[in-house]
Every structure is written in C-alpha cells, then in structure tokens.
Structure 1
Amino acid sequence: MDDRDDAELGELLYANPLGCAEDVADFVMEGDGMASFPLGRLRLESRRDPKDGQAANIVYWCREHFQGDIAIRWKFWPIRQPGLCILFFSAAGRGGEDLFDPALSPRSGEYDQYHSGDINAYHISYFRRSYAEERRFQTCNLRKSHGFHLVAQGADPLPAIADCDPPYFMQVTKRGSLIRFYIDELLLFQFLDDGVTYGPVLDRGLLGFRQMAPMIAEYSELEVYRLQRSDME
C-alpha cells in the first residue's frame, strides 16, 4: 500500500471561503434546507421538522468537477445535535453523467436516492449523532455507492457539541484508488478500492455536504488541491 504523505499538496484547484451568499451562488440545495452566514461562514440547516424523517434531510452540492489525485479540505463547526454530517465526493451518474443531467431521477435529500438511486459516489459520515447507539460509540464511516457498501471505518475523535472546541480541520485525500480521511491531521481510516468488489474506482465528479435534521453545522475555507507527485511515481 502507498504510504506517502498525503499532505504534500500541489496546485490549488479550487478555493471558496464559504463566507457569504455570493460564495455559494452556484451551489445547489437538494431538500428543504437553508444556507445562511450569521457568523461569516456557511451555516446549513433543514427547514423541516425532524419528525418528517428522511424528507427533512438535505444535501448542498458544489458544482465544480474534480478528478485525479486530490485533497479536499474544509473547516467544520458542529452547532446543534442530534444529527449527522456527510461529505459526498466523486459523485456522478452511474453512466458517467453530470450529477444534474436531466436524465437522472430528481433528488430531494432522502438518503436512498443517493446510495441506491442512479448515482455513484463515495461518502464519509464524520459526525454521527442521530441515534443513541451512535452517540454511545462514535465512528466515522466511508461508504461506496451505488449500493450501501461500508468499506472503511474509524473512531470519531470529536466530542459532543457541549465539549467541542471548533473549528475542526477536515481533510479527505484520494490518490488513485487510495482514500484517506483526517480530522485535525489525525488519520482516522484509509481504504484501497480494488475496483472490483464494489465496482470500478470512482473518479470525476462533484462534492457535496449532507446533513440529517435537526443537525446545524457551519463550514468555511473549502479547498481542493492536486496531490503532489513524487519521484516514486
């Protein structure tokens, strides 16, 4: 397995401070959600009562496409729990279509539309506080879709919101078929996708933030870098 330091960043491909409405003018909200900036950073929350179940959950997509060896970085503030936060990446139609191709089925924030619908994606759930069993024993999970394939898991170091000291520095790296996830530079898990067990390795696609109601969270300084090549390549 490749053990090179994924912190070796190359070209900056995308930078967004997520500081005001103009910064997210081309983002797309799926589900009945609200984006606001009360503290100069992106705050996401559902407008629906969590009793509405999956219909109350939201996904907020960045419309930029990324592919190849990349690092995705952002700062994260959990504001209110219970709830759950996810990052989708390498998201595209199962036939390689753009995520917003009109040929794809409409999506409205309900989870099965994302893991068992007509799109492919990797998705990391990194703040899982929706259910009592998640709060008792906290993990970060990587799933690969289409399908609901749990492919990697690691301990979640973040405390309950009452004890949080944000911001937390989040980073996902994807070098070829190797995915790693870090919080505050601590490696929590890695996954080497063999491209066979759960279908081909996913590459070009979009990234998006998902929240499960009644979670409220804030985000800033979204950046995507090309990972530096080394003499080993």
Structure 2
Amino acid sequence: MTPLFSRLFILLVALFFTLPANAFPAKGKLLYQSSMRDKESVANWIMEGNAQVKFRAGWMEMFSPQQSAHHVFWCPQDFPDSFIASWEVQNLATDAGLLIVFFAARGENGEDIFAPTLPARDGTFTQYTNGKIKNYHISYYANVAHEPGRVHANLRKNNTFSLLQSGSEGIPTQSTAIHKITLIKQGAHIRLLIDGRSVIDYIDNQSLINDVDTGGPLAGGKIGFRQMQWSHFRYRNFQVWGLNVGDE
C-alpha cells in the first residue's frame, strides 16, 4: 500500500465513522401537510398582525399592506418534541425584510398558545420573545435597517430572548431563487438547513445562558412563520413528519 493510498484510506475510514454522529434522523409518519397553493390549504391557520395572504401560481404570498405591520401566521396543529419540517420560500422584495420560524411554541405554563387566558398578540415582537408564550425561533433571512445584509442566522429561546447560536448564512439577502428549508428538532437537538446546507446545529442542554436561566429544553408545540413588515415572500409545500421510533 503506497503512502498516498494509505492516507486516503485513513481519511475515508475517518469520514465513515463520523457520519453517524451527524446523520439526520429518518422521517417517520407524515403528521401534517399543506400545499399552501390556495386558501383552502391554510383555512385553519391563524394570522396575527395586519397582513394578507394571496395565492398565485401554486404559491402563497404573505405581506403587510403598505408595509404597515409585523405579522405571524400560525399552523393550527401542535407537533411533538421531535419532528422534521420542510417548506419552500422565495423572496419577492429584496430591498428589506426578515423571516423567522417559531417552533415548540406553548404558553409559559404549558397551555395552548391560543388559550383565552393568554394575552392577545398582534405581531409585536416582544409578545413572542418576552411575553407569555415560550418557543424557539430561528431568523433565517435578515436585511433590515439595523442589520443590513446580515450574513448569519440566529437561534433564540423565548420567553427570555436568549441567543443560543449564531449560525452560518441564511437565505442570501439578494437571492430571488427558490430555497428549501428543513427544520429538524430531535428532542433538545435543533438543526436548520437551507438547500441541504447546515445553518443551525445546536443542542439545548444548558439552561444558564449569559447568566439567564432559560429552563430546560422546550418540547412540543406549534409552528409559525413570522415576517417583519417590509417582507414579501411566497411559500409552498409545508410538511411535517414525526421521527422513526428508534431515532426519537
């Protein structure tokens, strides 16, 4: 065996044995799907904030009239502690905007986020990050006045607005391409990929973040799509799967 071949063999063996640690869990049962192609496909979704959805060419466009308000569009279903979700997005206005996905969202005492005992929400950011609901959120596109052309995604844990990880670049700010988003929550292990590229990879196994007690890892709850008021994106093919029993 030549020295070069030996080095290549050792490298291949090393790669083979590191794959399981980073391997993605297998999809289990399909828990929910929405084509997002027409109003019937999102008939039970709940909008918070002054925004509209319109349907064209098999897509759902979401925007705020006159760019007047931030907004969140919630899927009505609760999802378990572990899942794989995917959807496609495309930017229709690259001048400014910000996209967030909320997930594992529940009231701070474990109640449904639409429980009548909780304060009403209207898209104001602090209601979701420092209010009476808990969740994780990932900002995967950001091009706003205080952070123009931001080149990293952020994972935060709420209702303490704690930054868990600044990851790699999310959707490039000037991109008008179609991007596939994959969100994997495997208990405390959270990953987000854009077009198969890892953006966030974090295990929520420490409660104390910058001297703030964020509590244990969040479990199941709702998923919602948030846009800042300047955003105009379109969405399609939202799907959520459970994980195979051996992967949970």
Query: Would you call these one fold, judging by a TM-score over 0.5?
Result: yes
2:38 alignment counterpart: 20
- How much does 1:15 deviate? 1.1
- How much does 1:217 deviate? 0.4
Q: Which has the larger radius of gyration?
A: 2
2:29 alignment counterpart: 11
Counterpart-to-counterpart distance in 1, 2:51 and 2:76: 17
Amino acid at match of 1:90: A
1:86 alignment counterpart: 100
User: Is residue 2:177 matched to residue 1:165?
Assistant: yes
CA contact (8 A) 1:93 1:99 kept: yes
User: Is residue 2:193 matched to residue 1:193?
Assistant: no
Q: Secondary structure at the match of 1:156?
A: coil
CA contact (8 A) 2:141 2:170 kept: no
User: Is residue 2:119 matched to residue 1:105?
Assistant: yes
Amino acid at match of 1:211: Q
CA contact (8 A) 1:73 1:172 kept: yes
2:79 alignment counterpart: 66
TM-score normalised by length of structure 1: 0.90
Runs of 4+ in 1 over 6 A off after TM superposition: none
Counterpart-to-counterpart distance in 2, 1:195 and 1:16: 35
C-alpha root-mean-square deviation of aligned residues, in Å? 1.9
User: Is residue 2:57 matched to residue 1:39?
Assistant: yes
1:53 alignment counterpart: none
Q: Secondary structure at the match of 2:122?
A: coil
Counterpart-to-counterpart distance in 1, 2:43 and 2:198: 33
2:132 alignment counterpart: 118
Q: Secondary structure at the match of 2:40?
A: helix
Counterpart-to-counterpart distance in 1, 2:170 and 2:52: 28
CA contact (8 A) 1:173 1:179 kept: yes
Counterpart-to-counterpart distance in 1, 2:180 and 2:224: 17
Residues 142, 41 of structure 1: CA spacing in aligned structure 2 closer, same or farther, 3 A cutoff? same
Counterpart-to-counterpart distance in 1, 2:166 and 2:177: 23
CA contact (8 A) 1:158 1:164 kept: no
1:174 alignment counterpart: 185
How many corresponding residue pairs?
224
Counterpart-to-counterpart distance in 2, 1:179 and 1:172: 8
Q: Secondary structure at the match of 1:72?
A: strand
CA contact (8 A) 1:90 1:121 kept: yes
Structure 2 unmatched runs, 5+: 1-19, 209-213
- How much does 1:123 deviate? 0.5
Q: Pick from 131, 149, 153 the counterpart of residue 145 of structure 2.
A: 131
Counterpart-to-counterpart distance in 1, 2:245 and 2:22: 10
Q: Which structure has more strand as a fraction of its residues?
A: 1
Counterpart-to-counterpart distance in 2, 1:98 and 1:158: 31
Structure 1 unmatched runs, 5+: 51-55
CA contact (8 A) 2:151 2:172 kept: no
CA contact (8 A) 1:66 1:204 kept: yes
